[in-house]
Amino acid sequence: MFTSYVNRWASRFGSAFALTVLFGLGLAVLPASSKATGLALEDCTGLHSATWSPGVSNTPAPHTVTTTSNWECTGLGGLLTPASSINQFQATFACSGLLAPVNNLVWTINWNDSALPATSTFSFNVTVEAVDGNLVITSNNGSITAGRYAGNSAVATFTLLGLQGLLNNQCNAPGGLTGAGGPTTLTILGL
């Protein structure tokens, strides 16, 4: 009698149980980074530029920083979506202080397609490091706080190419260093 009951139970729930076990094993073999970061809802690459007004010199001064980013993004469905962001913030620094972290940035990302909402509000802090003569800016603790993808996390990198050479050549020149640019990435991660 007991064997008959077990066989009926196994035939009813065996497939579901097997699928659950296989799913669990699949999760167990995923790389740790895939589990921790979630699925990329948008994966974007493009170009970034930054300008400083007045130009950055060796003397600390307040600056208006204007950034422009243009991305081509690939979403989950493989659709290409252009996106852009033009932002401004104020900061006081000198050429020697360009490696200082910047906190509490809030940028608007414009999705240049017909879907709504047409914007995302990206809130983040950045760390800055010199790598092979370039300045690499990486967002941390980034999240989309409003608009498209609200509630999801996001990571961006911005590389200012050849910045070490620009600093050496322009920080002592009249007008100082006024701009730099390079590649950028933006990834918006699912929950």
Non-local (6+) Cβ contacts of 97 within 8 A are 60
Give the Cα separation of 35 and 27 in Å (integer). 8
- Whether the CB-CB separation of 81 and 75 falls below 8 Å is answered with yes
Question: DSSP code of 79?
Answer: -
Burial of 158 (0-12, 13-18, 19+ CB in 10 A): buried
Question: CA nearest 93: which of 61, 132, 131?
Answer: 61
Average pLDDT, the chain: 82
Question: DSSP code of 97?
Answer: G
pLDDT value at 5 more than 80: no
- Whether the CB-CB separation of 70 and 185 falls below 8 Å is answered with no
Tell the residue number behind the tokens 């009698």, with chain if given. Answer: 1
pLDDT value at 12 more than 90: no
Give pLDDT tens digits for 87-135: 999 989 899 888 888 889 999 999 999 899 999 999 999 999 999 999 9
Give pLDDT tens digits for 132-166: 999 999 999 899 999 999 999 999 999 999 988 88
The three-state secondary structure class of 167 is: helix
Give the Cα separation of 70 and 72 in Å (integer). 7
- Sequence-ordered alpha helix ranges (H) in 30-175: 32-37, 163-170
- Mean pLDDT check: name the lowest of 7-16, 18-27, 38-47, 168-177: 18-27
pTM for this entry: 0.77
Q: What are phi and psi of 85, to 5 degrees?
A: -155, 130
